[in-house]
A and B are shown apart, each in its own frame.
Chain A
Amino acid sequence: MRRAIGRARSGVDRTGRAADRIGAGRTEPDKGPRRRSARIGPATVALAAVGSALLAEPAAGHAGSLSGSLEPTPVPSWLVVLTGGGIVGASFLFTSLLTDHALVRAINGRGVRVPVREAVRGTIRTTAYRGARLAGVAVLLLVVASGLFGPAAPTASFAVLVVWAGWWAGYAMSVYLLGNTWPTLNPWRTLAEWLAATGLLARTGRASPGRLGVWPSVAGLLLLIWIEVVSPVAEEPRLLAALVLVYTALTLASAARYGTAAWFRRVDPIARVFRYYGRLAPLQRTERGIELALPGSALAERRAAGRADETAFVVALLWVTTYDGLVLTPAWAAFARAVVGLGVPALVVYLLAMVAGFGLFYSVYAIAARLARRTADSYVAAGFIRDWFAPALVPIAAGYHLAHFAGYFLGLAPALGGVLATPFSAPATVTVLAMPGWFGGLQLGFVVLGHLLAVWVAHARSFEVFTGRLQPVRSQYPFILVMIAYTAASLWIVAQPSTSPPFL
């Protein structure tokens, strides 16, 4: 297996080559970027773009990203890292000036109900709902069929473009920027419900998935991202289709075994990712209908504290973004070569790093919660503090997602539009847009914006659980320090020249 992967990757500079092509503006479908800059956790490329736009180091390595055409401005990387941390720290200082709990809550409580007329509710809504569900299933079928029988070049492949650019980049953005539509569109859920209704896969009603809590979800997310990093699933349509088929089979079988609602509510990692992202969105579904509120206010107002495993999932969401970027750094390459030299299989190294990094992130966050109990001088249980503030991590994850994928999505949007019309044959030309120079700055802005929202959400939540006006602010010290450290680490990763991850 390793050999196969190695062959697929051989001699392809991880980011450089794709970026050159993308930068070139137009590519022939048959010669399209083997390494669609994205597989890389499509993400990391754009992450590199954040840096390359702002870093002085003559962008030797990371020029090779979606932003290959950017001109680096003369600011050294340490200063960018420092500035990122400084902005996060300053945002905390500013929010700590606002200690009027009623005002904090009033700000988060602002919102209007989106009026939906009864008539619309009745007919049009049902039709739209059914249509959306059908469309979801149709896209899934097309992805599989096109992946198996369509063009093999990534930038000409309906499957690759729809899954990575359309869905994982573009659609995910719509979830946290607008609202969570995944429960309706989720094709696996629709299929599972159909199968259950027709009795083809009757629920066997055995063990509930509840025993293990959300941990299977956490493991599923880590596993999916690991597969995405170590296999060429983002550039080989056949492999992608196979993965989708396997995922479909597993999901449908599990939904049949545990019940559709229980499976998608508790275990399915993709549904959970979108559910958490959706809580950041301005459009929220409530008991009283659809409400339009400030972004993040649903996170700030969320009353439940969650549990340790739910916190772990949010942390995992954050970690996988970082991991995606980390494996591209020279430091990682040196480390991986050293460890593999000791005789450890490369895939195991990648897997261990995935698990160990997640453990590290979770531990650091849990320690911060324990310290918060001390800085706040409070008896509130450390575990409760940890789970109470977990929703504040969602905007950070979304901010990085947006920074990573906005340019990637926009750049590939014309190609995506092209293949939508012809799922089974390569379009005559594939257009890939290069992002303008200021786009890198915009991406850094998204990262910072995510952190600002996180600071605000944590600030609002601290007033719900702690007493008075000073204790809530003091409870935030450890979290802010961790957040500054995380910002700095992320920007450091960005500042590294991108290399090809060894042994893949």
Chain B
Amino acid sequence: MTPSNSRPSPSPESDRTRTGRRAAAGRNGPGGADAPPTTVPAGETPAARCPHCARPFRTERLCALHLGERHRAALTDGERAAHDDARDAEGDELFVFHLKVVGAITALYAGMVLAYMIVLGVQG
């Protein structure tokens, strides 16, 4: 349901039948993954609420992404545009995040190699 940027996202329903073996069972029931129970702390107003399932979100962007993922068939033009923008923005952020991840992997690897070299060198 969250395909890569290059591919248009299929509707949730068709996606399920295509890839999920045990997919549909109990998926849309209340309390399932599609509609997890939410709690909003007292005194806080959610930045956005899904107009279809009333799920609250901390940011507009998450709500727009949610609409595209879970209610794709029922999107208005404005919601579709908001979803595409949100996806682009998230894609940019994701790119930076992945750069950090690659950096962290490199640092971890280098750190391990160094640690083993030093330890084995000292002992050897």
Residues of A within 8 A of B (CB): 56, 74-76, 79, 82-83, 86, 89-90, 93-94, 96-97, 99-103, 105-106, 109, 111, 286, 291, 293, 298, 301, 303-305, 377-384, 388, 461, 463-465, 467-471, 473
Name, among A293, A379, A384, the residue most crowded by chain B CB atoms within 10 Å (CB to CB).
A379
Q: Which residues of A contact B20 (CB under 8 A)?
A: 105, 109, 301
Task: Pick the residue among B1, B26, B31, B59 that contacts A101 (CB under 8 A).
Answer: B1
Bound CA span A82–B115, Å: 10
**In angstroms, how far is the closest chain B Cβ from the Cβ of A419?**
42
CA of A106 to CA of B119, assembled, Å? 43
**Given A79-B115, A381-B36: A467 and B62 interface contact (C-beta under 8 Å):** yes
In the assembly, what is the distance between CA of A380 and CA of B59, in Å? 13
Tell whether, in the assembled complex, residue A100 and residue B123 are in contact, meaning their CB atoms are under 8 Å apart: no
- Contact yes or no, A377 B58, CB < 8 A: yes
Min C-beta distance of B120 to chain A, whole Å: 7
Taking CB atoms, residues of chain B closer than 8 Å to A473 are 97
Q: How many residues of B contact A (CB 8 A)?
A: 53
A379 touches B40 (CB 8 A): yes
Given contacts A105-B15, A303-B27, A468-B87, 12 further A-B contacts (CB under 8 A): A93-B101, A97-B101, A101-B1, A105-B19, A106-B19, A109-B19, A301-B20, A304-B26, A305-B31, A381-B38, A463-B2, A467-B57
In contact, A99 and B38 (Cβ under 8 angstroms): no
| Contact in complex: B36, A384 (CB < 8 Å) | yes
B94 at the interface (CB under 8 A from A): yes
Contacts of B75 in A (CB 8 A): none
Does A56 contact B123, Cβ atoms closer than 8 Å? yes
A217 to B9, CA, bound (A): 43
Q: Does B76 contact A (CB under 8 A)?
A: no
Given contacts A79-B119, A102-B3, A467-B69, contact A381 B108 (CB under 8 A): no
Asked if A102 contacts B56 (CB within 8 A), the reply is no
Of B3, B32, B112, B123, which is within 8 A of A303 by CB?
Answer: B32
Instruction: Tell me, yes or no, whether B52 is within 8 Å of chain A by CB.
Output: no
Our pick among B36, B40, B108 for the contact of A86 (Cβ within 8 Å) is: B108
Q: Is the CB of A381 within 8 A of B37?
A: yes
Residues from chain B with Cβ under 8 Å of A103 in the complex: 3-4
Whole-angstrom distance between the Cβ of B113 and the nearest chain A Cβ: 11
- List, sorted by A's number, 27 A–B pairs whose CB atoms are closer than 8 Å: A83-B112, A93-B104, A97-B98, A99-B94, A100-B4, A102-B2, A103-B3, A105-B1, A105-B19, A109-B23, A301-B20, A301-B21, A301-B22, A303-B27, A303-B32, A377-B58, A378-B58, A380-B38, A384-B31, A384-B37, A388-B33, A461-B33, A463-B1, A463-B2, A464-B33, A467-B69, A469-B2
Contacts of B119 in A (CB 8 A): 75-76, 79
- Whether the Cβ atoms of A305 and B57 lie closer than 8 Å is no
Cβ A303 vs Cβ B22 within 8 A? yes
CB closest chain-A residue, reference B34: A464
Query: Closest chain B residue to A293 by CB distance?
Result: B21
Give bound CA distance, A293 to B22, whole Å.
Answer: 12
Interface string of B78-98 (1 = CB under 8 A from A): 000000001100100110011
Docked CA distance A383–B31 (Å):
11
Q: Is the CB of B105 within 8 A of A90?
A: yes
Write the B98-124 contact mask toward A (1 if CB under 8 angstroms, else 0): 100110110011011001100110011
**Known contacts A74-B120, A79-B115, A301-B21; A470 and B38 CB within 8 A of each other:** no
Residues of chain A within 8 A of B15, CB atoms compared: 102, 105
- Closest-by-CB residue of A relative to B90 is A468
When distances are taken between beta carbons in the complex, the residues of chain A under 8 Å from B116 are 75, 79
